[in-house]
Structure 1
């Protein structure tokens, strides 16, 4: 009789990081190549506007069916199916056809959304006492993957001589992740390590839930308009295609050090207000820059937008402070993500429709500027409310924030 050897932590970590590096490749690589894909006939102007809107739509749907799927077949198996769908969808996008590219994006982002939601729980189940370090590692790798795909997508497409082949080339890391994760998850017994999600509680939602949902929706809407359309905005302003992709890569890469600072600011309610102001003002300044003088200092505008996209840790901090305990935080998280991502889909879809109809990017950026101001105001109100309701419990707050940031909350929280 043979015994099955459990994989080492290093191998499990490798599998988790391979999953993480793929979580934004499908989004940023397509965004950087939209103009080239339209030029090659792989997308039409009308289908191109759908591609940036699909991630948020899939996140909203995944928030509904992923807990059911994980409870039915196990979280590890659900992740295996998710990353397989991600790889299959990205491979399908090699076909230079609008139907293939859109269908591949639907399949890929649906799989991506499943993995995105379950990854924090997988980290908690497999990392032991290293949860914080592993969480930092996977979020860093995720941002690096997104930045690399955005910056290198155009050069890779030029090297292949085809935008479609260049887009499909980013399926290679996903295929590798499928192979490694399937083997490691089976040998590590991941499904048995993650308990079934708790049943949803009924009753009134905590006060501030809908304001928090509005804050979540505004930051997600802004982030995915930037992630989906920034290269096109830059190209339409006369910036070269390769440089336009690098701008998105710069914004995504800046999220790594900026998030560390923002997470530190989210530890207390007083400093949380400072974090809200930083991301809000940075977003506003970057949008004004691309609106008024896009070609004057595009790298600076991209840096500011990258700082503004770091609002997500603030959302986690606010979720952790709302209600009377972890169960309330889990319920608020479910509402904020489900409704927030559904509303956020309007952003990239509306921006694409406006652009397709011949509208200027100035109008889109002006609306995003209004949204950034509204997000800032709502965030400041929420931070003050959370401070007033929890001034006596700062230690408990910090523990709750740590739980949210490391995926320890009852319901896994997905990254933006």
Structure 2
């Protein structure tokens, strides 16, 4: 038996590869596998809670604007300035969001934004005067501006294969937070004793809740960055884009900025003044808040429908005109029969306000490259928000000096006309790379 065939003759069978043997995991891969599930769930919760907080600071104030004016002894012009603070902050602070994200990370900046919202909303009712109220409002709006810019970046980074789904979820939560604050602020104020300060400050609790899921996300990101090899760092998700087209030379970019700014003007006038228009027409305060909620909630279904329809069309001008005509009909109704047809006017203005998702869709369609989209988005939104600042102030001043809503509503209707003209120009089938 000692003369058996040597082992080499049987080695091909004994050393055949075993299919059950998996390749060894590296430490980063194992860490990613173990933390991926809980991190994904936290990010979904964080995105939803953050989106819920991006409008209540604005719409809750619109529902109680008369009480705030009386309590702080504001004039109509100052109240109009207050309704212009949101777009001004979005234009000013939104520019800083990419730079802050490169320095600290997008998740950390969103987390800080939620903290700023919580502090600003909690402090402003007790700030002790109009200047303090405006400063605390600006703090909350700074957090909203930073988060508003960076949330789509986070969606693209962590959910690259589910961008549409997560964007839809984020948009729905944003519209829900907008309408929820408009609908329940007045009854919630009554339940808390009738004081407008408590009715405004209670929304800080929602922002505090939104901070919690982002804390472990930020810690996980920092831990992953520390564990990454120094010689081969991962590319930054929100790094500065390379050189691209000079957007300011594009007529389409300017048209899109004007369209964005004029639709933002209408949206913030609506959020700031629509409840007061209904209340002055004899509609109860609680019902006026619900009417604003109806206007805002129209954005939930239409935010899904309009971008899909617009994406199938070579030119988006027909949609621009349809939304503008809806706004004109709503303002005409407010002029002639504000109380009798209040629900219809609220629906029509809600449809008109859906020019916002259309503008975002056109930003993506008017540039061929990712760099062009980034530059066009920054240009159109910053220039557009700056353009929208005077509108609410002018409406407040007209309301104060005319003693009624005829002149302000005429102005609001008149602004729809250049909005449609700019939107038709921006909706033409061309890109900024062709023009710039």
Fold conserved (TM > 0.5)? yes
CA-atom RMSD in angstroms = 2.4
Deviates more, 1:191-200 or 1:354-363: 191-200
Which deviations, in whole Å up to 9, do the C-alpha atoms of 1:313-368 show, x marking residues without a partner? Answer: 22123222325533333222222111110010111122122223344322122122
Q: Highest CA radius of gyration, 1 or 2?
A: 2
Aligned mates of 2:58, 2:348 — CA distance in 1: 20
Aligned mates of 1:28, 1:200 — CA distance in 2: 38
Match of 1:182 among 215, 221, 241: 215
Aligned mates of 1:324, 1:138 — CA distance in 2: 25
Contact kept, 8 Å, 1:43 with 1:97, in 2: the verdict is no
Contact kept, 8 Å, 2:252 with 2:425, in 1: the verdict is no
Distance 1:136-1:324 versus aligned 2 partners, 3 A rule: closer
Which deviations, in whole Å up to 9, do the C-alpha atoms of 1:99-145 show, x marking residues without a partner? Answer: 33222211101111000010000111122422211110111011011
Aligned to 1:198: 241
Aligned mates of 2:404, 2:314 — CA distance in 1: 39
Aligned to 1:118: 150
Aligned to 1:32: 63
Aligned to 1:219: 263
Taking the TM superposition and a 5 Å limit, the aligned residue runs for 1:374-389 are: 374-383=418-427, 385-386=428-429, 389=430
Match of 2:410 among 363, 366, 370: 366
Q: Residue 139 in 1 paired to residue 171 in 2? A: yes
Aligned residues: 387
Unaligned stretches of 5+ in structure 2?
1-30, 226-233, 432-436
Aligned mates of 2:197, 2:73 — CA distance in 1: 7
Aligned mates of 1:306, 1:54 — CA distance in 2: 22
Aligned mates of 2:307, 2:189 — CA distance in 1: 36
Aligned mates of 1:35, 1:359 — CA distance in 2: 14
Q: Residue 350 in 1 paired to residue 350 in 2? A: no
Contact kept, 8 Å, 1:56 with 1:344, in 2: the verdict is yes
Instruction: Report the 3-state secondary structure (helix = DSSP H, G, I; strand = E; otherwise coil) of the residue aligned with 1:296.
Output: coil
Unaligned stretches of 5+ in structure 1?
391-416
Distance 1:325-1:123 versus aligned 2 partners, 3 A rule: closer
Aligned to 2:12: none
Match of 2:48 among 7, 12, 17: 17
Distance 1:327-1:167 versus aligned 2 partners, 3 A rule: same
Instruction: Report the 3-state secondary structure (helix = DSSP H, G, I; strand = E; otherwise coil) of the residue aligned with 1:370.
Output: helix
Aligned mates of 1:65, 1:367 — CA distance in 2: 33
Q: Residue 155 in 1 paired to residue 187 in 2? A: yes
- Give the TM-score normalised by the residue count of structure 2: 0.83
Aligned mates of 2:178, 2:391 — CA distance in 1: 20
Match of 1:286 among 302, 305, 330: 330
Aligned mates of 2:176, 2:265 — CA distance in 1: 21
Aligned mates of 1:382, 1:97 — CA distance in 2: 43
Distance 1:195-1:339 versus aligned 2 partners, 3 A rule: closer
Q: Residue 69 in 1 paired to residue 100 in 2? A: yes
Contact kept, 8 Å, 1:47 with 1:102, in 2: the verdict is no
Instruction: Report the 3-state secondary structure (helix = DSSP H, G, I; strand = E; otherwise coil) of the residue aligned with 2:320.
Output: helix
Displacement after TM superposition at 1:249 (Å): 0.5
Displacement after TM superposition at 1:183 (Å): 2.3
Aligned mates of 1:89, 1:43 — CA distance in 2: 19
Contact kept, 8 Å, 1:22 with 1:173, in 2: the verdict is yes
Contact kept, 8 Å, 1:276 with 1:311, in 2: the verdict is yes
Aligned mates of 1:314, 1:87 — CA distance in 2: 30
